[in-house]
């Protein structure tokens, strides 16, 4: 009976995967075509030959290096800022008793769902007031705000799962609270910290709307905005866009695979805890 089931499962899974992965197939196929073949009608599924020049062309025909650099600076800046803010907050939520706790956790969960669009109009004013328009700093700040609450949420979940007794012993042995966090809790909670770091990094890396709103100079564009600007002027050089997209996607897709389970668990809460 089991065996008969597989005759249904395999074709269905393959069918679904073909549909889900089709655009990535298009991306790879286009990235290895010369322009003459990109604009062939009817189009070819598979490139006639493996044309690698797109991957070298993009680096000097577009400021791709600076896009990558900006995305790195923004993502790393966001991650650092987030960690400084989130670790104490998550610690407080996970370990300490205080009156406003359940209210704050509730608030964080609700805030996490707000669309940045609601506030972008007034954030624009604030960023302008701070003199941060067209700076990478503006994106570090705004990306932090919108990853903050979920990061605290994720991290406090990890802290809560670590037995309190370890730190209490250290406190009694004369460690200060800060020392007990840095020397004892964080090393034990490392997987959770890494998950949170990856989550923040990816979110900042993929962010598009704030960049579109706050950044005007070419040399300050992050990858998402930079690639978006491949489209729209004159004819689109799709083979370049697709080659650049491959390079931009590889790091995030790989990083994402490390944290998808934790994300699912963090987002769906007790519902999926077996």
Q: What are phi and psi of 52, to 5 degrees?
A: -95, -5
Whose Cβ is closer to other proteins: residue 152's or residue 197's?
Answer: 152
Whose Cβ is closer to other proteins: residue 59's or residue 228's?
Answer: 228
Q: Return the beta strands (E) in 118-256 as ranges.
A: none
Burial of 146 from C-beta contacts in 10 A (0-12 / 13-18 / 19+): buried
CB 273 to other proteins: min, Å? 7
CB 42 to other proteins: min, Å? 6
Whose Cβ is closer to other proteins: residue 99's or residue 163's?
Answer: 99
Instruction: Determine the Cα–Cα distance for residues 240 and 43; give it in Å rounded to an integer.
Output: 17
Whose Cβ is closer to other proteins: residue 63's or residue 251's?
Answer: 251
CB 58 to other proteins: min, Å? 14
CB 53 to other proteins: min, Å? 19
Whose Cβ is closer to other proteins: residue 10's or residue 61's?
Answer: 10
Instruction: Determine the Cα–Cα distance for residues 1 and 190; give it in Å rounded to an integer.
Output: 45
CB 26 to other proteins: min, Å? 5
Instruction: Determine the Cα–Cα distance for residues 129 and 132; give it in Å rounded to an integer.
Output: 8
Compute the chain's Rg from CA coordinates: 23
* Residue 144 token pair: 């932090």
* Residue 137 token pair: 């700093």
């Amino acid at each position: 009976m089991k065996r008969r089931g597989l005759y249904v499962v395999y074709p269905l899974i393959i069918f679904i995967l073909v549909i889900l992965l089709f655009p990535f197939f298009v991306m790879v196929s286009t990235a290895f075509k010369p322009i003459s073949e990109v604009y062939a009608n009817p189009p070819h599924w598979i490139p006639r030959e493996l044309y690698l020049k797109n991957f070298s062309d993009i680096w000097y025909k577009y400021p791709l290096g600076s896009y990558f650099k900006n995305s790195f600076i923004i993502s790393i800046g966001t991650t650092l800022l987030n960690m400084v803010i989130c670790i104490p907050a998550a610690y407080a939520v996970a370990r300490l008793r205080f009156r406003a706790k359940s209210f704050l956790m509730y608030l964080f969960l609700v805030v996490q769902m707000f669309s940045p669009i609601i506030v972008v109009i007034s954030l624009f004013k604030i960023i302008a007031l701070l003199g941060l328009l067209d700076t990478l700093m503006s994106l570090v700040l705004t990306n932090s705000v919108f990853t903050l609450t979920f990061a605290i949420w994720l991290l406090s979940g990890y802290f809560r799962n670590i037995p309190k007794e370890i730190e209490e012993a250290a406190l009694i042995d004369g460690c200060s609270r800060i020392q007990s966090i840095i020397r004892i809790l964080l090393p034990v909670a490392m997987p959770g910290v890494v998950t949170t770091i990856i989550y923040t990094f990816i979110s900042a890396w993929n962010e598009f709307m704030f960049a579109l709103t706050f950044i005007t100079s070419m040399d300050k564009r992050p990858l998402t905005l930079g690639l978006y600007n491949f489209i729209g002027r004159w004819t689109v050089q799709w083979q370049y866009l697709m080659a650049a997209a491959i390079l931009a996607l590889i790091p995030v897709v790989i990083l994402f695979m490390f944290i998808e389970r934790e994300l699912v668990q963090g987002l769906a809460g007790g519902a999926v805890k077996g």
